[in-house]
């Protein structure tokens, strides 16, 4: 029977066409490589290589055996990694980019829980509305809304539904709202600029409708600032139902949903991270965030 060193030698010679070059790459002598090839051919009871000019090339048997040899090496490598991961510790440095929308009300608590769960992890957290699109090996980003085109693996972990909210004090000034057509008499607190200048709302029975975005007295680029402005009677705004409920747990009654059952377009939440084999610490963080993302609604 042949062993993996002999299979590795055969695959290397197929790649280089030279015993000398393969011997240099594998760090053994030419005579050792020759013995390995001979033993492999003897075990298979078939010659695999023939010499043509100054190169070694595969014969028909070698061509048929090559894909099996490559799969054997790949399987062996994967098996080795799987065994090594059993003893790999969840430790080291991680960098996490968190979209501003999720910082307060969701991520701030998770950050401490994750560090308590893995005391050997050191984490650097960066927040904002725009993240680098070329994350390095130990980086993860949490993105709200459609992510920009990139070479990263992108995985949806949840979705944030949105509704129109106001403070009780503001509704006392403008009166109750029963239909989206009444929104044009209200001041508006906008989260970033809406390039389409339209708001789309959907009702389970009345269907969908769009209306021109009201003039906004205040435009901010953070969900927290937008929510604070609405709470301070500066106008109405479209806010995440999930994040509003989190705020109401600490400040009951500070926000009121204006239009019963009418909802704005939801925002998807994505994880982005590099392709390829991931270290255990990175997989631990990704699995943790995916599990926590199930609470979004």
Higher confidence at residue 285 or residue 192?
A: 285
Please report, for the chain, how many H helices and E strands are present, in that order. 9, 13
The tens digit of pLDDT for each residue in 103-162 reads 888 998 889 999 999 998 998 998 887 665 556 666 888 988 887 766 788 899 999 999
**Exposed / middle / buried, residue 20 (Cβ in 10 Å: 0-12, 13-18, 19+):** exposed
Structure confidence at residue 149 (pLDDT): 62
What is the rounded CA–CA span in Å between residue 189 and residue 197?
13
What is the rounded CA–CA span in Å between residue 200 and residue 197?
10
Domain coordinates in residue numbering, the chain: 4-87, 92-297
**Phi/psi of residue 52, each to 5°?**
-135, 115
What percent of the chain is modeled with pLDDT above 90? 29
Quick one: pLDDT band at residue 222, thresholds 50, 70, 90?
confident
The architecture CATH gives domain 92-297: 3-Layer(aba) Sandwich (3.40)
Structure confidence at residue 212 (pLDDT): 74
- Closest by CA position to 164, among listed 253, 243, 246, 240: 240
- Average pLDDT in the 48-64 region? 85
Other residues' Cβ atoms within 10 Å of the Cβ of residue 166: 27
Confidence (pTM):
0.66
Structure confidence at residue 275 (pLDDT): 84
Higher confidence at residue 170 or residue 78?
A: 170
pLDDT at 240 over 90: yes
Structure confidence at residue 73 (pLDDT): 87
The tens digit of pLDDT for each residue in 159-200 reads 999 999 999 999 999 998 888 888 888 888 876 555 556 778
What is the DSSP-derived secondary structure letter of residue 236? Answer: B
CATH fold, domain 4-87, is Arc Repressor Mutant, subunit A (1.10.10)
- Average pLDDT in the 236-248 region? 92
Tell which phi-psi region holds residue 261, choosing left (phi > 0), alpha (psi between -120 and 50) or beta.
Answer: left
pLDDT at 229 over 70: yes
């Amino acid at each position: 029977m042949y062993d993996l060193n002999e299979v590795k030698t055969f695959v290397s010679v197929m790649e280089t066409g030279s015993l000398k070059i393969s011997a240099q790459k594998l760090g053994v002598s030419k005579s050792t490589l020759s013995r390995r090839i001979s033993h492999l051919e003897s075990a298979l009871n078939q010659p695999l290589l023939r010499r043509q000019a100054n190169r070694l090339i595969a014969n028909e048997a070698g061509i048929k055996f090559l894909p099996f040899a490559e799969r054997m090496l790949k399987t062996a490598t994967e098996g080795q990694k799987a065994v090594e991961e059993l003893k790999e510790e969840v430790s080291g440095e991680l960098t996490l980019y968190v979209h501003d929308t999720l910082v307060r009300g969701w991520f701030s608590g998770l950050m401490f829980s994750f560090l308590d769960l893995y005391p050997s992890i050191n984490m650097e957290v960066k927040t904002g509305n725009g993240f680098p699109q070329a994350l390095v090996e130990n980086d993860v980003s949490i993105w709200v809304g459609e992510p920009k085109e990139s070479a990263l693996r992108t995985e949806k972990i949840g979705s944030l539904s949105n509704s129109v909210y106001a403070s009780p004090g503001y509704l006392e000034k403008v009166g109750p709202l029963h239909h989206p057509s009444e929104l044009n008499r209200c001041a508006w607190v906008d989260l970033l600029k809406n390039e389409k200048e339209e708001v789309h709302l959907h009702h389970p029975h009345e269907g969908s409708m769009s209306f021109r975005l009201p003039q906004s007295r205040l435009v901010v680029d953070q969900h927290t600032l937008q929510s604070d402005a609405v709470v301070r009677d500066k106008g109405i705004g479209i806010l995440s139902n999930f994040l509003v409920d989190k705020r109401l747990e600490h400040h009951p009654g500070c926000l009121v949903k204006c239009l019963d059952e009418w909802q704005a377009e939801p925002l998807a939440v994505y994880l982005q991270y590099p392709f390829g084999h991931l270290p255990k610490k990175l997989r631990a963080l990704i699995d943790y965030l995916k599990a926590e993302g199930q609470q979004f609604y």
